[in-house]
Amino acid sequence: MSDRKIPMLETQPKIKRKKTRRRLRDTRVARGIKVLPTLLTLGNLLCGFAAIHYAAKPVEASEFFGWSTLTVAGTLIFFGMFFDALDGGVARLTRSTSDLGAQLDSLCDMVTFGVAPAFMMLRLVSHYYGAEHGTNILGPDADNFYAKATWTIAAVYICCTALRLARFNSETVDDDVTAHMWFRGLPSPGAAGCVASLILLHQHLLVKRYGGVLPPRIEATSSLLIPAITLLCALAMVSTIRYPHVINRGLRGRKPFSVLVQIVIPIIMAIWWLQVALAICFTTYTVYGPIATLSRKMRRNKSPDALAPQSPTLH
């Protein structure tokens, strides 16, 4: 009997050592995977920094496919949006979500979706409006009211982005996907996408249709319209208007056939008219929140329950 137990006793330490080595190896892999979401978040930050760099250059053809420097800056904001969409999903997939990652994500979003779009808007107006009116620098020290107002709008946009991100961090307590189906206020990537897409469309029309010289009407309209839309996006970010989470609500789980059609049509439009499709999609998303809110209030007021007298309740 004792001879039979000896081999089992000899093999037990080997099995334990193998399990220990396997556990240590899995721990190292898990620690290595946690680096990937951080790299994606920092990629978002670098895209925002590069967008500011190109927006600061003179508005002219760049070395990238001959695009305008503002076009390159706007494209980098959308690349940052791509990294921002990936880092959260990768963090949940690898079970590496943390408070540090959430705070880092907000800091990077502040640069890419806050400072960069506001600075792009200033550079656009400064080039197409300020140079014509002798106001090359838009700021509080300018002698032109419109130049001061444009700088003020950019400052308000940056402040609203910071408040929006801080409120999101303070209100978000659950990492479950089902808890993130709606946003309170316009998300900062949506606001940045609206501003950047309109600037991309402006530059596309300028180069492709008008040969680099805008007609006076379009030049005046664009210099007035884009700052006004930037201000509306800033106010929407700090509002309590409800906006849907496009990825969580539209792409997760089983959906009706109509949802597939709604996704395919913008993709087809983007293949043929990329700048137009981006501007339409982000502008539609921006105005969807207020329109849906007004529609819900009107239906609530017309419902029979709202018209019927309510009995008093005890509190």
More confident residue, 93 or 233: 233
DSSP E strand stretches across 75-228: 182-184
- Has residue 81 been placed in a domain? no
User: 111-115, 175-179, 238-242: which has the minimum mean pLDDT?
Assistant: 175-179
Spatial distance between the Cα atoms of 110 and 117, rounded to a whole number of angstroms? 10
pLDDT for res 20: 57
In a domain, 216, yes or no: yes
The lowest-confidence range among 10-19, 40-49, 51-60, 257-266 is: 10-19
How many residues appear in the chain?
315
Strand spans (E) along the chain: 182-184, 242-244
Predicted confidence at residue 80, as pLDDT, reads: 95
In sign, the C-alpha dihedral spanning 127, 131, 137, 138 is negative
Give the pLDDT band of residue 117 (cuts 50, 70, 90): very high
- The tens digit of pLDDT for each residue in 128-183 reads 776 555 555 566 766 778 888 899 999 999 999 999 999 988 877 655 555 567 78
Tally of CA atoms within 13 A in the half-sphere of 112 that contains its CB:
30
Per the confidence metrics, is the pTM higher than 0.95? no
Residue 200 covered by a domain: yes
Q: Residue 17 pLDDT > 80, yes or no?
A: no
Burial class (CB in 10 A: 0-12, 13-18, 19+), 112: buried
List, for residues 29-82, the tens digit of each pLDDT value. 445 457 888 899 999 999 999 999 999 988 787 777 778 899 999 999 999 999
Tell me the residue range of the domain where 168 lies: 110-289
For 313, the token pair is 């309740």
For residue 199, pLDDT beyond 50: yes
For residue 9, being part of any structural domain is answered with: no
> What total of structural domains would you count in the chain?
1
| 253 falls within a domain | yes
Residue 202 resides in a domain: yes
The rounded distance, in Å, linking the Cα atoms of 168 and 172 is 6
**φ and ψ at 21, to 5 degrees?**
-65, -40
Residue 42 lies in a domain: no
140 located within any domain: yes
